């Protein structure tokens, strides 16, 4: 990865505790503008907690997260969408009774300038023209993700793979600088995974979106990621190029469940592994 690229997101010594549980412990890394950055690790490693800290669902116990020069600690979860953070979830969060088109339009809500009172005077204050403009943007996203054939169907009637694609479309509709994908390929068959991987690459290469992705399919991670970070028990145990990270002995132990305690070994080395 070219280190001359602009740093878009900085995570500085972030820790997150729930009582006596240390979900994250002093995690630090940078994400460069325009890269695909994957976060991997065993179940319970703190991956989703990390995304929740970035998106604002959780507040770190300590440390800082900085997006494009702005410290995020003073911004609410809704404000962060306006700053350019998009998000998908492990568990689908669509409105099942609403059409695909309307679900994606929800992602454009923060872009609307006309308020409720103006909306009542629909014709006089340009709300109609504004909505038309936003719908055109949504139609472009629908075309890009190839879901034209279900645009008017209720989201709850779609197959699992299509619903995951609609949720991705809604996140893209926010117009984010950085998009957080929490297991976008979980539960998919091989064909659906290949399609989703292609869309992720296209969003990155064609639309220039910076992507942070949690994913358990190591084949996908190695194939499409620029860099990979590994968490285990809330601690960062490796960071670097995909092939190098996969050869790291601490990563192998974390995934293979060898008897030696990875965290204890790192502490004995008195150094955090960084490739």
Which tokens in the block code for residue 84?
A: 């350019």
Q: Of residues 198 and 260, which shows the higher confidence score?
A: 198
Q: Is the pLDDT of residue 269 over 90?
A: no
pLDDT tens readout for residues 200-251: 999 999 999 999 999 999 999 999 999 999 999 999 999 999 999 999 998 9
pLDDT band at 81 (very low <50, low <70, confident <90, very high): confident
The pLDDT of residue 93: 76
The pLDDT of residue 196: 96
* Domain spans of the chain, in order of start: 1-84+177-275, 96-175
Strand partners, 49: none
The pLDDT of residue 267: 44
The pLDDT of residue 116: 43
The pLDDT of residue 89: 87
**Cβ(122)–Cβ(128) below 8 Å:** yes
Picking from 38, 13, 6, the residue whose alpha carbon sits closest to that of residue 179 is: 38
Rg (Cα) of the chain, in Å, rounded?
20
The mean pLDDT of the chain is 86
pLDDT tens readout for residues 103-136: 999 887 655 555 444 544 444 555 566 667 778 8
CATH 3.90.1150.10 fits 1-84+177-275, yes or no: no
Q: Can you tell me the distance from the alpha carbon of 208 to that of 210, in angstroms, rounded to the nearest whole number?
A: 7
Instruction: State percent of the chain over pLDDT 90.
Output: 70
Residue 212 phi/psi, 5° resolution? -115, 120
The pTM for the full model equals 0.84
């Amino acid at each position: 990865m070219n280190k001359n690229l602009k740093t878009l997101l900085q995570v500085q010594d972030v820790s997150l505790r729930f009582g006596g549980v240390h979900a994250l412990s002093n995690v630090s890394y940078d994400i460069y503008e325009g890269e695909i950055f994957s976060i991997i690790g065993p179940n319970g490693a703190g991956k989703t907690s990390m995304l929740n800290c970035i998106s604002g669902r959780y507040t770190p116990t300590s440390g800082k997260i900085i997006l494009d020069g702005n410290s995020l600690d003073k911004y609410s979860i809704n404000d962060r969408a306006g700053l350019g953070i998009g998000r998908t979830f492990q568990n689908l969060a669509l409105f099942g009774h609403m059409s695909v088109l309307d679900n994606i339009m929800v992602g454009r809500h923060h872009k609307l300038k006309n308020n409720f009172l103006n909306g009542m005077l629909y014709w006089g204050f340009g709300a109609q023209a504004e909505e038309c403009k936003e719908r055109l943007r949504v139609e472009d996203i629908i075309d890009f993700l190839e879901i034209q054939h279900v645009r008017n169907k209720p989201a709850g009637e779609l197959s699992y793979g299509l619903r995951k694609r609609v949720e991705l479309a809604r996140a893209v509709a926010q117009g984010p600088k950085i998009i957080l994908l929490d297991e976008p390929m979980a539960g998919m068959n091989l064909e659906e995974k290949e399609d989703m991987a292609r869309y992720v690459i296209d969003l990155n290469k064609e639309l220039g979106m910076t992507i942070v992705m949690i994913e358990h399919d190591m084949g996908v991670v190695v194939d499409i990621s620029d860099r990979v970070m590994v968490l285990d028990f809330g601690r960062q145990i490796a960071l670097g190029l995909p092939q190098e990270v996969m050869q790291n002995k601490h990563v192998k132990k974390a995934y293979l469940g060898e008897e030696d305690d990875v965290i204890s070994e790192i502490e004995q080395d008195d150094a955090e592994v960084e490739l």
